Structure 1
Amino acid sequence: MRVPVDGGDLAVEIHDGDTPPVLAIHGVSGSRKLWNWVAAHGFSLIAPDLRGRGDSAHVPGAGISQHADDVLNVLDALELPSATVIGMSMGGYVAVDLAVRHPNRVRALVLVDGGLPMAAHAHMTPELLEAAFAPQIAARERTWTADEYLTVQATLNPLIDPTDPFIREYFAHDLTEDGRLRLPAETLVADAKDVIFGASRWQELTVPTWFVHAEWSTGPDTPPAYTVEQAAEFRAALPVLREPMLINEVDHGGTVMTRSGAAVTAEALADALK
């Protein structure tokens, strides 16, 4: 379906399942296809392509609060007074913003390797951020076939299974019909800056919250976005936060984009739906 927002309309995919509705918010360079692995567990998911991504690539603008306003429009369009919300990576920050500003619309919150402050962000500068995204920006200067793009992504993400049809569908959704990456570089960088340098309001959360995090960040044995110790500190500081769940032997993307990671994320979501 299409949902009108400021500047255009969002593409929203509805996964019919046997649960109450769940609003699913993807990460900074992702799309609605991120949630296919979780949807396979039988959840009723509402998965928008955020502005600048996928079939919403034509909608200009960026920013955590802008995305939160957009997904609020999605709830309104579906006439849902409230929903459980799950957000992965940047989607977690969007979900936190939504839950803090509109707590009556979020009955429970699931944060997947995002939404809470990352220690690495404290050492980031705008210059380092630009350098970190240089490969992604360069990739937008050329055209790709679906097979070429998948091969590169499988090299960059050694834990994904390139034979998984969900993987192929996910990365194919990044491309236009003529093989260009849909996500504009300026949108990617602007959203990343808002995540890293923006003020998080996580300590203002009042809705029941679950937190799932990965053992690694970008492949085996890499330092995680969140350590077990940091997760415990969040648990102690935030009364509404349930016991954090660590997913062993997956990285950031693998929390959702692998069968094993999605199974743990689905377990947390099922618990939140109760």
Structure 2
Amino acid sequence: MVLRAPANGIEIAYDTFGSPGDRPLLLVMGLASQLIHWDEEFCGMLAERGHHVVRFDNRDVGESTHLHEAGAPQPGGAAPYLIGDMADDAAGLLDALGLDSAHVVGVSMGGMIAQSMAIRHPGRVRSLTSIMSTPSPQAAPPTEAAMAALMSPPSPDREAAVRRALETWKVIGSPGYPFDAERIARVAGLSYDRAYDPAGVARQFAAIVASGDRAPQLGELSVPALVLHGEEDQLVPLPGGTATADAVPGAKLVTFPGMGHDLPRALWPEIVGAIADLTAAAER
């Protein structure tokens, strides 16, 4: 059941897995992606490894607050908010849940938010896992094909939205693993039903572009950190993960041959194991 909590002046939709007495683990999703993009089975695997898992909708997607009054970003105009504001949303959600801190895992833009959360709220982040992300878009520009898929026009209806999702993930997904068309179509349809807001996604994208390079601040962190990245990622190529690992003192970098800009089911045990090993070690 999706719940709602006030955070940083907005409302955040979230749900949880596992026992509240276990290690708190906050999952942060990427651009245009809702909490349902964290697969329930994947969350269950994390819970089985001793985590109380919290997944949530970032601002401007899903059932969290959409900043409709901000409108669509204008070329050359100021971004309505930055990645740091989204990191403050996540910290506010911890407040609402009565958590003084948590282990934080983010993918893509969610990795940027997780990085920013560790910078802005260092006492709130017990460990940092940054997946398929980067300290700065300039560190790992997308391929032309990936950028074209990302910037394709908004879909006029549900069927077109599902079709666009399938076409996008064929470009940016993992070439070394089976293409799970059934799951992609199901999640895309459910995402459309929960909330379809192209202007909100545009505001998120503007935040990514306007937020600058986090590498200098990441260099000041003293948090246990793990960086996971696909070697075939076209949207955030591998140099983004390398730049993240190079920036965070002591960070461990793990790369996966054949993995693109998604989390292939076959890699879930390895990814969950790496996260669990980090959080357990951080607790010690």
Same fold (TM over 0.5): yes
Is contact 1:28-1:191 (8 Å) kept? no
Matched, 1:155 2:167: yes
Contact 1:96 1:115 in 2 (8 A): no
Cα contact 2:66–2:200 (8 A) shared by 1: no
Counterparts of 2:35 and 2:61, CA distance in 1: 9
Shift of 1:82: 1.1
Look up the match of 2:55.
47
| C-alpha distance in structure 2 between counterparts of 1:154 and 1:103, whole Å | 38
Matched residue of 2:59: which SS?
A: coil
Structure 2 distance, partners of 1:135, 1:109, is 27
Pairing partner for 1:27 from 3, 27, 30 = 30
5+ residue gaps in structure 1?
Answer: none
- Say whether 1:194 aligns with 2:210: yes
- Equivalent residues, number: 252
Query: Does residue 138 in structure 1 map to residue 142 in structure 2?
Result: no
Q: Relative to structure 1, is the Cα distance of residues 180 and 73 closer, same or farther in structure 2, using a 3 angstrom cutoff?
A: closer
Equivalent of 2:120 in 81, 101, 106: 101
Query: Partners in 2 of 1:63 and 1:133 — Cα distance?
Result: 23
Which residue of 2 is the match for residue 67 of structure 1?
86
Assess if the C-alpha contact under 8 Å between 2:227 and 2:244 holds in 1: no
Paired residues of 1:64 and 1:97 also in contact (CA < 8 A): yes
Deviation digits for residues 125-151 of structure 1, max 9, x if unmatched?
xxx99x9478646225x1223xx4333
CA RMSD for the aligned pairs? 3.2
- Aligned with 1:251 (options 234, 237, 260): 260
The CA distance in 2 between the partners of 1:118 and 1:189, in whole Å, is: 11
SS at match of 2:238: coil
* Aligned residue in 1 for 2:18: 16
Aligned-pair CA distance for 1:249: 1.1
Q: Which TM-score applies when normalising by structure 1?
A: 0.78
Give secondary structure in 2 for the equivalent of 1:9. Answer: strand
Cα distance change on mapping 1:88 and 1:236 into 2, 3 Å: closer
Unaligned runs of 5+ in 2: 69-79
- Which amino acid counterpart does residue 171 of structure 1 have in structure 2? A
Distance 1:237 1:10, change over 3 A: closer
* Distance (Å, rounded) in 1 between the aligned partners of 2:275 and 2:124: 17
Mark the CA change 1:42 to 1:138 in structure 2 (over 3 Å): closer, same or farther: same
Does the 8 Å contact 2:111/2:131 carry over to 1? yes
- 1:169-248 equivalences in 2 (<5 Å): 169-176=186-193, 180-181=196-197, 184-194=200-210, 197-200=212-215, 201-218=217-234, 225-227=237-239, 231=242, 235=245, 238-241=248-251, 243-248=252-257
- Native 8 Å contact 1:118 1:226 kept in 2: no
TM-score (norm 2): 0.75
Deviations 1:10-38 (A, max 9, x none): 11121225841101111112111122253
2: CA distance between counterparts of 1:273 and 1:185?
31
Structure 1 residues 213 and 70: CA distance shift in structure 2, 3 A = same
1:109 Cα deviation after fit? 0.8
CA distance in 2, matches of 1:261, 1:116: 24
